[in-house]
Every structure is written in C-alpha cells, then in structure tokens.
Amino acid sequence: MTAAVVTEPDLDLLVAAEAEPEVRNPWRSARLAALAVWSATAVVHLLVGAFAWLTYQGTGPAPGLWSAFLGWNNWDARHYVTIAESGYQGLTAGYPAFFPLYPLLIHVFDPMLPGDGMVSALVVANVAAFGALAVLYRLADHEFGPRVARRAAWYLAVFPMGFFLFIGYNESLFLLLMVGSLYAARRGHWWLAGTLGAFSSATRLFGLLLILPLAVEYVRQVGWKPRRDVLSLALVPLGVTAYSAYCLIELGNPLQFSIAQDQWGRQYTFPGGAWLTSITQIFGHGPLHKSTLGALLDAGTILIAVVLLVMCVKGRFKFRPDQRYLVVQGAITLVMLMSTEVGGRSMQSAARYAMEAVAIFLMLARLGAHQTVDRAVLVIGAGLHTLLLVVFMAGTFLVA
C-alpha cells in the first residue's frame, strides 16, 4: 500500500475540515479530554518520582517514597506553603511578591486533606490543572474545532515547562482563571469574564494584562457604543486592589508587593531588552555552564513563542480577524517577558511564563494537523518535560 503524501493544498483542506463542529456535549468532551491528558501526565510524574527514589545514592538514609514525591514542591512552592501556614506578617521582605489567592486556597483545603501544606499545594495545583486543560479545550474547540482542541490540551501538558502546572506553583490556577476569562468574554459572558479576571490578578500581577485583550474583544462584539456591561472590565484590577489594601493595613504600605520584587532582583527594561541581555549571557560562560543553559532555555523558548505568534498574523495559518484578542493577549505577554529581568539571569522563569501566551498552543495545534509536526511536538516536548522535571527535583535553579 502506498503511503499518502500530504501536499500544501491538501494540508489546508485538512485544517479546514478539522474546524467543522461535531454534534456533542461540548463540556463533556472537554472534561474527558482533560481527564485523559491529566491522567497520562500524572502517571509520568509518579514514575519520575519513583525512579528518583529508587536511584537515590546519597550518603544518608534514603527518604521515604512519599517524601520523594513531595520533592516536586521545590523553590517557590515552599514560599507559597509558608504563606499559607503563617500569613505574610513576620516573614522576610520578599514574601509579599507572591500574590495571595493560591496560598489562600492551600490554607483553606489544608485541614481537609492528609499531610501538611505541601499536600494541599499539590491538590490545589492539580485540580486547577485539570480545570485549565478543560477550559483550554473549550476555547480551542470554539475557535478551531475538536481535533485542534485535543492537540492543544496535549501540547500544553507536554510543554517542556508544563510540569509547573502539576506541582506546588500557581501556574495552573493562573492559567485556569486567565483562559476562563478569555473564553467567557468570547462567549459574551462579560461579568463572568471580569470576575475571573479579578481572581487572576489576585493570583499574579500579570493578571492585569487581561484588560487589553478583553477590551479588544468587547469592542469587536459591541462596537464603540458600550453597554452597561462594559463595567465588567473594571473588575479585573480588583484582585490587585484588594491585595494592595491588605498590604496597607497589615504591612504598612499599599505597594509592598511591588517593593518586595526588589528582593528578587526584578526590574523592567525597554521592550526586548531582557531578551537581548539573555542572548549575551548565553555566550558569557562555557556551553555546559548552568547560566548558559538557563539563558538558552529562556531565550530560546521565547524566540519560538514569538515565531509562532507571528504565524498567527502572517501566512497560511493566520488567525481570523475576529480572533485578534488571542493575538493581543499573546503579544502583550511575550513583550512583558522580553522586558523583565530577574536576579542574575536576565529572563529567569520566562520559559514557564510563556505558557500564558495561549495563542502559541492554538497555533501549534493547528500545525499539528500534519502528522510529522504532531509527533515531533509530542516526542520532543515530552522528552524535555521529563528531563527538566528531573532537573527541578534535583533542586537545580536552572528551571526554578
């Protein structure tokens, strides 16, 4: 039997066919897809934790297997748990940089779960990860059809830094709220979109950036004569506003969360300045130096994300004009990442924050209509994902 060759026109027809809607329960499909992706990812993570435990070669007694699994909660995860257990008062000056919604949820669910706050952090993160995968599926399905939606969910999970969605960080919670807000806006549910936006800005300062894509989509739907529900956009900053009020009352300064960023060396440059600095850092040490590898990971991830975002507006796979809100959200996210320096490594953590640019996963999922692209994304992504999780569990700051 002769293998079929997919030519460029054929590929265009294939992508168009994938956008055809199916008659089904859309949220049931989203939940099932999210469950499949989450379950497969959880199995991989459990295997990584078990093998890390089996291969322990330290000088002291091997930690318990459960302790090995809790090794997923390194670096910032410990800060969130500390805040959940103790609050902000009495902690060092850098702690207010971590926004309160995620540690608040850890605190709420901790008494209901076995173990300490580390367990609660994992449970909250994984429940949010499941929700984020389901909502991303619904958004992608609404825009491009179910096949693209399935690939988008898988590509997010196997993203090299995608393991941050399943450990004690606030990545999955923020992504759930942010994508949920975009999807609600797309469906015209503006008060829900604004409310989810408010929760996102209580999770991370960059939640404020949602105002721009929401405003773009609002104008597209309603025009320049706003209705009363335009006030829903004003809900987005309420998360930051509420946290600022807390900082004033409890910590003595309404901008304490911003001042705390100084403890981590965060500063802002002209657009793209941090990325250029990161490029110079790649050549500042030997090819296998941790700083070189870290800078390469950050700068390389952002470069690929920018290329994918450009493809959203140029070329055969460009998004429709009514999908401009996705491009705006991705663009403002990447510009902020390319303009933010943290600590000694210019774009530290930018590789994981790139997950917030939703448009790049939708573009990848469209390209994945070609089987070769699909297999390449899954194999390379899953391989790097597993490798970087091992690096993270080893306590290396390369991927913190």
Q: What is the pLDDT along the chain (400 residues), one digit of tens a residue?
A: 444 444 444 555 555 555 555 446 889 999 999 999 999 999 998 888 787 766 665 555 656 666 666 667 777 889 999 999 999 988 877 899 999 999 999 999 999 998 888 899 999 999 999 999 999 999 999 999 999 999 999 999 999 999 999 999 999 999 999 999 999 999 999 999 999 999 999 999 999 999 999 999 999 999 999 999 999 999 999 999 999 999 999 999 999 999 998 877 788 888 888 888 888 878 777 666 777 788 888 889 999 999 999 999 998 999 999 999 999 999 999 999 998 877 666 777 888 999 999 999 999 999 999 999 999 999 999 999 999 988 888 776 555 6
- How many Å apart are CA 278 and CA 268, to the nearest integer? 14
Q: If DSSP codes are grouped into helix, strand and coil, which group holds residue 341?
A: strand
Position 34 in a domain: yes
Span 127-164, pLDDT tens digits: 999 999 999 999 999 999 999 999 999 999 999 999 99
The pTM of the whole model exceeds 0.75: yes
Nearest to 198 by CA among 162, 149, 233: 233
Position 20 in a domain: no
Position 49 in a domain: yes
Position 13 in a domain: no
Q: Say how many residues make up the chain.
A: 400
Whether 163 and 185 have beta carbons less than 8 Å apart is answered as no
* DSSP one-letter string for 95-132: GGGS-SHHHHHHHHHGGGSSSSHHHHHHHHHHHHHHHH
CA torsion through residues 10, 12, 15, 21, sign: negative
- How many Å apart are CA 372 and CA 362, to the nearest integer? 17
| Alpha-carbon torsion angle 295, 97, 198, 42, nearest 10 | 60
Domain count, the chain: 1
Position 10 in a domain: no
pLDDT at 7: 46
The residues that bridge with 342 in the sheet, in sequence order, are: 345
Position 300 in a domain: yes
* DSSP one-letter string for 253-309: -TTHHHHGGGGGT-EE-STTHHHHHHHHHHTSS-TT-HHHHHHHHHHHHHHHHHHHH
| Helix H or strand E segment including 340 | strand 340-341
Tokens 């959940």 belong to which residue?
84
Position 342 in a domain: yes
Question: Where in the sequence is the domain holding 364, given as residue range(s)?
Answer: 25-399
* DSSP one-letter string for 140-205: HHHHH-HHHHHHHHHHHHHSTTGGGGSSSSSHHHHHHHHHHHHHHHHTT-HHHHHHHHHHHHTT-G
- First-to-final CA distance of the chain: 49
Token duo for residue 190: 């503006």
pLDDT at 8: 43
Position 16 in a domain: no
Tally the C-alpha atoms within 13 A of residue 389's C-alpha that lie toward its C-beta.
33
